[in-house]
């Protein structure tokens, strides 16, 4: 059984009550830039097999939240655990290993415009997981698409360049 919980204006999470340990656990996350509070006491849990959408107007903290989760930005307060690991307790090597296990995408400049969408998705697999065969790469891509809410749109975009598929 799922319930949808509104966490903060624009941030919605779907939670499964029967799930065990969360993949991502955020408690009381806070981030400001000068006097501008962007994230104010954000808390959420993401469980295995779930997807989350972060919605909001420009400047509402969507990218800031993702950057804090992967520690591209340091939060001002609160805790973030990914796969049970406190991201702020990880050293540089441990953080790099954690980042290899997760994927994240930012809207602006997220894809290389000189590569197709497929090539963009293959890029980290080829760069980080250099021992993967073509068949293994294809399997990982298809697994990703099966989990995607935008499955049909995304599959059509694979051979295209990002500008063709941009939906804002």
Supply the pLDDT for residue 8.
46
How far is it, in rounded angstroms, from Cα 81 to Cα 29?
A: 11
* DSSP output for 43-97: EEEE-TT---EE--STTSSHHHHHHHHTTSS--SEEEEEETTEEGGG--HHHHHH
> Could you tell me the pTM of the whole model?
0.57
User: Is the confidence at residue 140, as pLDDT, over 90?
Assistant: no
Mean pLDDT is highest, among 3-12, 36-45, 124-133, 141-150, for 36-45
Supply the pLDDT for residue 10.
45
| Superfamily of structural domain 1-104 | P-loop containing nucleotide triphosphate hydrolases (3.40.50.300)
Supply the pLDDT for residue 9.
43
Q: What is the mean pLDDT of the chain?
A: 76
Report whether 87 contacts 44 (CB < 8 A).
no
Q: Which two tokens stand for residue 97?
A: 């290993």
CA angle 98, 8, 57 (to 5 degrees): 90
Where in the chain are the domains? Answer: 1-104, 110-168
Summarised one tens digit per residue, pLDDT across range 38-69 is: 999 999 999 987 777 777 777 788 889 988 99
Residue 44 backbone class (left: φ over 0; alpha: ψ -120 to 50; beta: rest): beta
């Amino acid at each position: 059984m799922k319930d949808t919980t509104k966490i903060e204006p624009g941030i919605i999470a779907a939670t499964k009550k029967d799930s065990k340990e969360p993949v991502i656990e955020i408690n009381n996350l806070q981030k400001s830039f000068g006097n501008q509070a962007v994230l104010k006491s954000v808390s959420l849990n993401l469980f295995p097999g779930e997807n989350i959408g972060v919605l909001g107007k420009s400047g509402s903290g969507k990218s800031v939240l993702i950057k804090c989760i992967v520690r591209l930005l340091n939060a001002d307060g609160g805790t973030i655990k990914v796969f049970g690991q406190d991201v702020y307790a990880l050293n540089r090597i441990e953080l790099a290993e954690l980042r290899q296990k997760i994927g994240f995408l930012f809207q602006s400049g997220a894809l290389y415009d000189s590569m197709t969408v497929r090539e963009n998705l293959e890029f980290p697999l080829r760069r980080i997981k250099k021992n993967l065969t073509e068949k293994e790469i294809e399997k990982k891509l298809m697994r990703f698409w099966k989990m995607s809410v935008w499955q049909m749109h995304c599959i059509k975009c694979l051979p295209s360049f990002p500008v063709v598929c941009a939906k804002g």
